[in-house]
Structure 1
């Protein structure tokens, strides 16, 4: 994802090389128990139970709209052809990014990615991701400034151009996951020193870590590659001061996200953040924040029971779709992937909307007309840029 141009080129780092142990910078972070305590002390919004099936009528209404929009997903955009002043396009796995001079126009599509490739298109996904991110960007300004300038469309954010750090800051609270770089995958292979963290023996999948940890990654070709804090500085990806500031922001963002999620009956399990520098040298939060694409969420009330029974937690993210592909193909190596079942696509759309509504305490506004999404976006972006 680009909010500007990555500063430097990330070197290739072997996934299985022995990562040197380093001391994780001393930063105050919240454990799950701390989050629970803070949630109980919060009077503005008490902790509430969450369930994917509590409101059957609303769920069916959403699923009906999703089924009706399966053929109207925003899978690709070409604003360079329809909006005057846009200079170029960069296509990410989910977002299409356009150069508008001093700004970038970021269009969140309905593409669903995992395993470093696009798996499907999910109705309303672009809108719900964009709106979820914007809510979190607004709620986290007390922790860090961000690059957002305006939001002219449900699927669009206009942002400041940044010099982007070539490091993704992945923060984890649990040992889980199914991809090659997930913490459970590497832990299950016997690795106990990971990205500068020493992991305890005897942990099992989906277990809570003793404390939240940072596991940064950088890019080599199209894959995320784990990297230690020492390597980040040694390889010139960031200065020590930059790393210290960004790592502190990332851990504090995650702690705050855990607190807010728990107040709404959810566990924020892990996530990734990206940062860059604005033209004034200020470090800004970019990309997306605490979305079900960049994060794992579990239902809080059922976690202990599911974990004790050796079952997967109730998730409100794309993990169940990841697991379906892992069970039906080799998602990393197969040239052609199976088509995701319609029922899974619809269920994922519902879970993303459920998460948005649960976190923001607002109803997701389903599109009221059959206007082509690309036409609507072109019109709204053209108007916004003409006023800037």
Structure 2
């Protein structure tokens, strides 16, 4: 994993599989430098920087995908705006805050350093809940593997006769307990979620996740896409408000398929023409036994994956990236 950057006004505090987190430098200690314009960044702010790293099967792979961090950040910002009321629905609170401030010269200055411009977000610090909120609208991946064995997905019984890639009778909320980096997230029951965060918070996480999925799936459908599944993370702010955080509905956190291919495909692979890192997963399955260090990704796999990420962003937003 690449070393964290030395960013003016910010100090590195954590690196995940893909994102690096920074908190404001404490100028009162005399260490570090302030933001542009000599302004102290509010202490409740954080800088979330999306790297070009790519992960699969709980491993960070090498090499990264050039430009991926900017593509992910752009798509997250677009979805945050839609969910804040830009799609005509009710506002879903999120952790974004203004990425500029007035400096000592009374001029606006960006809080995002030039080195990470385009791939960073300034956000509020939240009390993060330890639940990964997964919503599945279609049967695939680990859900398909479990269904073949037991007729269930995360222990939830499903009708017989479903095939890989089929639409589920209704979207399923299948939470997971977030594990430390390098360990597998643990699928848990809704009842276990209640034990971990309380009945009110568990219900709010479930209901909010299903609401966001339904809105996003409708938007995707209007652009000729299927949102097969996705995952969300939430925290609470100082007032206890449930707040959408991290990334949202990106190619890394979601499975998107081409709707026309899904409708006309005769095989699961043809049906699930994906706009996510499934290309990477498929290559790894064919070339790695999931033991030891994963092999380096070939240039062709990196290029194809980047192209699909870019195409998804262009199809959803109507822009060229």
TM-score normalised to structure 2 length: 0.82
> Is 1:277 the counterpart of 2:236 in the alignment?
yes
Residues of 2 paired with 1:193 and 1:112: CA distance? 26
SS at structure 2 position matched to 1:212: strand
**Using a 3 Å threshold, how does the CA distance of structure 1 residues 77 and 135 change in structure 2: closer, same or farther?**
farther
Residues of 2 paired with 1:105 and 1:309: CA distance? 43
**153, 167, 185: which is aligned to 1:224?**
185
> Is 1:76 the counterpart of 2:2 in the alignment?
yes
The C-alpha deviation readout for 1:262-299, integer Å capped at 9, x for no partner, is 11110010000000001121110001111010000000
Residues of 2 paired with 1:128 and 1:192: CA distance? 35
**17, 22, 31: which is aligned to 1:93?**
17
The Cα shift of 1:193 comes to 5.9
**Equivalent runs, 1:124-203 vs 2, <5 Å:** 124-141=67-84, 142-151=90-99, 152=112, 153-177=117-141, 182-190=142-150, 192=152, 194=154, 197-203=156-162
Stretches of structure 1 that go unaligned for 5 or more consecutive residues are 1-74, 365-388
The Cα shift of 1:98 comes to 1.0
Residues of 1 paired with 2:59 and 2:294: CA distance? 10
SS at structure 1 position matched to 2:226: strand
Residues of 1 paired with 2:73 and 2:198: CA distance? 31
SS at structure 2 position matched to 1:150: coil
Aligned partner of 1:55 in structure 2 is: none
**Equivalent runs, 1:237-248 vs 2, <5 Å:** 237-248=196-207
Contact 1:265-1:300 within 8 A present in 2 as well: yes
Residues of 1 paired with 2:137 and 2:70: CA distance? 28
The Cα shift of 1:201 comes to 2.1
Residues of 2 paired with 1:87 and 1:206: CA distance? 44
Contact 1:171-1:215 within 8 A present in 2 as well: yes
Residues of 2 paired with 1:309 and 1:191: CA distance? 21
Aligned partner of 2:297 in structure 1 is: 340
Aligned partner of 1:311 in structure 2 is: 269
**Equivalent runs, 1:194-213 vs 2, <5 Å:** 194=154, 197-213=156-172
The Cα shift of 1:169 comes to 0.5
The 10-residue stretch of structure 1 (87-96 or 125-134) with the greater mean CA deviation from structure 2:
87-96
SS at structure 2 position matched to 1:256: helix
Contact 2:154-2:174 within 8 A present in 1 as well: yes
Residues of 2 paired with 1:247 and 1:293: CA distance? 21
Residues of 2 paired with 1:311 and 1:99: CA distance? 43
Contact 1:130-1:154 within 8 A present in 2 as well: yes
Residues of 2 paired with 1:281 and 1:201: CA distance? 42
The Cα shift of 1:247 comes to 1.2
Contact 2:256-2:274 within 8 A present in 1 as well: yes
Q: Which has the bigger relative contact order, CA under 8 A and spacing at least 6?
A: 1
SS at structure 1 position matched to 2:2: coil
SS at structure 1 position matched to 2:304: helix
> Is 1:351 the counterpart of 2:308 in the alignment?
yes
The Cα shift of 1:304 comes to 2.1
The Cα shift of 1:310 comes to 4.4
The Cα shift of 1:184 comes to 1.3
SS at structure 2 position matched to 1:272: strand
SS at structure 1 position matched to 2:293: coil
**209, 226, 251: which is aligned to 1:267?**
226
SS at structure 1 position matched to 2:197: coil
Aligned partner of 1:233 in structure 2 is: 194
